Structure 1
Amino acid sequence: MNINEEIVRLRDLLTASWRMHTAIKSKPEQIELISSSEILPWQKGTQVNINFRLWRQISEAERDLLLLHEISWREQTKWLQVGVYQGVAAMALLGGIVEGLQGDVTGIAIAFLLGTVGVNQVLRANKSAQVKLAADQEAIAVAQRRGYRETEAAKALLEAIPSAARLSGRNSPEFTELVRCQNLRAIAGLSRTTVPETSINDF
């Protein structure tokens, strides 16, 4: 596999906005098949890191859907998105600055505590099954615009999840991955059991 040619091919899969703000880099030293950076408030997009030694061991369809899911997930978990806990973190930061200017040590401590709670909740929510399922749906939708059938894209992503786990050195799937796989089986027409979003509880 020519790495530069593969990166060009992968970039062609992306939507125009994703292509503009996403960097795809070779990272042979990482143990994960694919990883990416959070999109922080001062950033417009993510950097996707790929271990191409592992990457070449899965099919092209699996590679395509893994990439689309990774970027979709990062786009859906931007720190600037409006949410309760983002608001808590922002207000705590603002409060901490005000209390600091006033020299209120207790106020600073409370603001720091609230900020920590807000940030932790944002990080937890970003890895929730609901967010991952939404990223799967968007990845499949983008793949359909690139010539994949919905069932074909769902099956490719279904096969890619355990492949990525195995190549990254994990023997058993995570809870969120099990939920995703069940939902993808339904989309691929391999199961009649779907995953109601309102009934998902992450551990």
Structure 2
Amino acid sequence: MSIDAEISRLLDMMPASGRMLTKIISQPQQSKVIDAPFAPPWNRESRPIYINFDLWRRLPRGQRDLLILRATSSLINIRWFKPDINQLIVLAGTIGLMVETGQGDAVGILIAAGLTAISIRQIWRDNRNIQRELDTDEAAIKVSLRRGYTEVEAAQNLLQGIENAAKIEGRSILNFTELIRSQHLKSLANLSSIDVPEKIDF
């Protein structure tokens, strides 16, 4: 497998927003097959997707396709800047912090900084919860439908990709989040009649 040719093929798989906002980087020393680290809000361009191509080549093409679509979806669907109460508290806290700093009010500074930190943490949690992981899987499957996959095929490939990537990485069991995702994907792939609850948040 030529790394350049595979990167070019993977870029063709991505939606246009994925090509604009992410960058595939070869990372032969990493233990993970593919890694799309959580992107902070100031990094709005070239969010990296790291791939160990020595491990990557051991996955069938369909599984590689769904794993790259899933990684892309996880990076382009981060909602740091959606208008909600946490956004307003961050804004108010930041303004308050600047005002209180200018006035030299130590108590005011602590309160404003605390409000800002709590709200930022909540926004971070909202982007890292289990429900968001399931939504990201479904977003990847939705994109795959425009690339010639059926929903069942896509769910099966993503499910098998999760399982096989873990084996390649030397992990004998999936982590909790992967187990929940796998059960949901089994339901989408018609492999199980049991799905996870409609809305979950851990």
The answer to whether the superposition gives a TM-score over 0.5 is yes
Give the drift of 1:101.
1.1
C-alpha distance in 1, partners of 2:89/2:23? 31
Amino acid at match of 1:20: M
C-alpha distance in 2, partners of 1:119/1:4? 38
Give the drift of 1:107.
1.2
Indicate the residue corresponding to 1:82 in structure 2: 83
**Deviation larger for 77-86 or 127-136:** 77-86
Amino acid at match of 1:2: S
Secondary structure at 1:197's aligned position in 2? Answer: coil
Q: Confirm whether residue 55 of structure 1 aligns to residue 56 of structure 2.
A: yes
Give the drift of 1:169.
4.2
Instruction: Kindly provide the CA deviation profile for residues 161-189 of structure 1, in whole angstroms up to 9, marking residues without a partner as x.
Output: 12223333433222221111111111111
Indicate the residue corresponding to 2:100 in structure 1: 99
Give the drift of 1:82.
2.8
Change in 2 beyond 3 A, CA 1:164/1:115 = farther
TM-score normalised by structure 2 residue count: 0.90
Secondary structure at 2:194's aligned position in 1? Answer: coil
Amino acid at match of 1:117: I
Instruction: Kindly provide the CA deviation profile for residues 10-63 of structure 1, in whole angstroms up to 9, marking residues without a partner as x.
Output: 000011222222211111122222122415245145221111111112111111
**Deviation larger for 79-88 or 50-59:** 79-88
Secondary structure at 1:114's aligned position in 2? Answer: helix
Secondary structure at 2:62's aligned position in 1? Answer: helix
TM-score normalised by structure 1 residue count: 0.90
Change in 2 beyond 3 A, CA 1:153/1:114 = same
Q: Which runs of 5+ in 1 are unaligned?
A: none
Calculate percent identity across the aligned residue pairs: 40
8 Å CA contact 2:144–2:154 kept in 1: the answer is: yes
8 Å CA contact 2:34–2:49 kept in 1: the answer is: yes
C-alpha distance in 1, partners of 2:99/2:43? 22
Give the drift of 1:139.
0.5
Change in 2 beyond 3 A, CA 1:186/1:139 = same
Amino acid at match of 1:30: Q
Indicate the residue corresponding to 1:165 in structure 2: 166
| Alpha-carbon RMSD | 1.8
Q: Confirm whether residue 7 of structure 1 aligns to residue 7 of structure 2.
A: yes
8 Å CA contact 2:32–2:169 kept in 1: the answer is: yes
8 Å CA contact 2:21–2:76 kept in 1: the answer is: no
C-alpha distance in 1, partners of 2:58/2:47? 24
Instruction: Kindly provide the CA deviation profile for residues 40-90 of structure 1, in whole angstroms up to 9, marking residues without a partner as x.
Output: 245145221111111112111111111111111222224223343343333
Q: Which runs of 5+ in 2 are unaligned?
A: none
Amino acid at match of 1:29: Q
Amino acid at match of 2:66: L
Aligned length: 201
Amino acid at match of 1:172: I
Give the alignment of 1:8-157 within 5 angstroms.
8-37=8-37, 38=39, 40-41=41-42, 43-44=44-45, 46-157=47-158
Secondary structure at 2:50's aligned position in 1? Answer: strand
Change in 2 beyond 3 A, CA 1:80/1:168 = farther
